[in-house]
A = this chain, B = another copy of it.
Amino acid sequence: MLSTSTQLPDIRTDFPASVLHLQNATWQRQGKLWSTLKELCDLLRIHTTSALADEEFLFQHVQFKTGQRIHTIGQPFETLYIVHSGFLKTVAIDEFGNEQVLSFPMKGDLFGVDGIHSRRYSSEAVALSNCDLVLLPFKKFTALGRAHAELEHAMYSVMSRELVREQAMVSMLGGLSAEARVARFLVSLSERFAEMGYSSKIFNLRMTRHEIGSYLGLTLETVSRTLSAFNEIGFITVDQRSITIRDLDALTTLRRLPPSTLRAKQARKARAAAQAAAAADVPPSSESSSTA
């Protein structure tokens, strides 16, 4: 339902390089072809001043069909990607072929950032639906930062946001039960859909149980069972890929099942110790006595 606009008839594009197949004139019917800087910033949810409106440069779009690989691990890095429409997954593959889903980029998300450091992508990105992506060559990216100081900050900000997201992921994997993970996953999907202007209550999963499991550090069976359980309790209604959120609050509230005693104790201690040691430290701007 979400990807209707991306539906493209029988256009055969078997061009090798992602950039190359753009040359084909027939592609131009589907999807957007160019975006202005302003449009790009809006997409990325960056607050811009009017100063950028005059920027002439246009950013090229590329279309990918379901299942196509946008980039692979080890491939030389030269561009970042921003999702204009569609759904993808990024996957890490360790030294012996074990896949791990790292994220599910969708509208407004940036990916490819992991390639900057080593000049090669360290993950692979695959389209889960037909996708329309904006190309953001890294050269352009840095040049823009230099040209517009406010943009530079925005770029660091976007990268920082990614980092925070990853940290949240680590927290989740490290501390939450299977149920809590699946619940959070559903909630965040719901929020994401809302942001994009779709229904936050009724939506279709674009990924398989297996992919969800990989993302959450669970097996596909556990994911399936947990969804069924939520269905039983009435938190959601689930039928294959279609999800209806029935009790968002319950899902949001669902915390670790295996919790409390030790964790709470430790938390208290740690704070006390830190405070004692840091006797004369930075006055915490907030949260000074939240250990009640």
Seen from chain A, the residues whose Cβ lies within 8 Å of a Cβ on chain B are: 1-2, 4-6, 14-18, 21, 65-69, 71-76, 92-94, 96-100, 102, 113-118, 120, 122-123, 126, 142, 145-146, 149, 152-153, 155-164, 166-171, 173-175, 210, 214-217, 219, 255-256, 259, 262-264, 266-267, 270, 273-287, 290-291
Contacts and interface: CB of A to CB of B under 8 A. Distances in A.
B263 A114 contact: no
Contacts of A159: 116, 156, 159-160, 163
A282 B75 contact: yes
A97 B264 contact: yes
B175 A122 contact: no
Contact of A170 (B73, B116, B169, B219): B169
A16 B282 contact: yes
Given A99-B270, A117-B158, A159-B160, 12 more contacts: A18-B282, A67-B277, A68-B281, A71-B282, A92-B170, A97-B263, A114-B163, A114-B167, A162-B163, A166-B167, A173-B173, A175-B217
Contacts of A162: 163
A124 to B, nearest CB: 8
B173 A287 contact: no
A-B pairs, top 5 by smallest CB distance, nearest first, are A67-B277, A116-B160, A174-B217, A117-B160, A166-B166
Contacts of A118: 164
A43 B121 CA distance: 25
B175 A279 contact: no
A274 B128 CA distance: 10
Copies of this chain per assembly: 2
Contacts of A290: 97
A113 B160 contact: yes
Contacts of A287: 72-74
A4 B170 CA distance: 33
A159 B116 CA distance: 9
Contacts of A171: 92, 94, 100, 102
Contacts of A73: 287
A102 B274 CA distance: 17
Contact of A117 (B76, B161, B280): B161
Most B-side CB within 10 Å, residue of A102, A174, A210: A174
Contacts of A164: 114, 117-118, 122
A6 B116 contact: no
A166 B163 CA distance: 8
B152 A99 contact: no
